[in-house]
Amino acid sequence: MTLRLFLCLESLDKLVFTESPVTVNFVSGKNPFEYFTGYHQRRNGEEIYNIYVNGIAALIREENKQGFLYLPSGPKNQFKPARYTQEEFLVCTAAHEVRHRFQNNFLVKKFSPRSANLVKDDLLKSVIRFEELVFEECREIYAKEKRSKVYIKGRINQKEFDAKIIERLVAIKIHGKNAYSLREEITSIIKMSAP
C-alpha cells in the first residue's frame, strides 16, 4: 500500500504541477503530528513529499478501521457513512498533500468555517459545515487526551481545514468511480479557491 500511496502522490503532483513535480521520499521515522504523509518545504526552498514508513501500517490500519467516508444525503447538512476503497483512500490522501503544496505555491484563498456563509453551492456549504464539526470534535478529543498545544495547532489549523475540504470533495467526486478517469476533475478540485 505504501508504494501505491507513493504513485498516487507522484501522479497527482505531476497533474497539478506539470512543469515542476517534486520528489516523494520514504522517511524512516514518525511524523510528530502522527501523519503518515506530509508536504514540506525545506529551508533551501526544496519541496518534497514524505511518506513516514515507521508506523505507517498502524496509522493506515487505524484510518481503514473506520473504513468510512461521509457523503451528503437528503436535506442540507446531512451526511451518511459510505465504505471507501483503498484506492479512494489513497487518492484522497494524495489530493490533501498536493493541496498543501498548492497552498504554498499560489495565493489561493483557503477554506475556513466562515466560507460556508459565502458559498452558494449547497454541497460545498455542507462539506464546510461538516468539517467544522469534525475539527471541533477533534479539538475536544485532543484536549481530553492532554495533547500539547503544538500538537493541536499542527492538526487543527486553517491549512489543514482547507486541505480536508479538498480531500472530502475529491472523496465525494470519486466514490464508486474510477479515479484515473477523473484526473481533470480531481486537479480542478485541488486548485479551487475559497470565496
48-58 pLDDT, tens digit each: 999 888 766 66
For 136-183, write each residue's pLDDT tens digit: 999 999 999 999 999 899 889 999 999 999 999 999 899 888 888 899
State how far the Cα of 97 lies from the Cα of 119, in Å rounded to an integer: 24
In this prediction, residue 185 has a pLDDT band, given cuts at 50, 70 and 90, of very high
- Of 64-68, 88-92, 125-129, 177-181, least confident by mean pLDDT is 64-68
What's the full length of the chain, in residues?
195
State how far the Cα of 81 lies from the Cα of 145, in Å rounded to an integer: 26
State how far the Cα of 93 lies from the Cα of 163, in Å rounded to an integer: 10
Q: Full-prediction pTM beyond 0.95?
A: no
Domain ranges of the chain: 2-190
Q: For residue 127, what are the CA distances in angstroms to 6, 70, 113, 133, 167?
A: 27, 9, 10, 10, 10
For residues 52 and 38, the answer to whether their CB atoms sit within 8 Å is yes
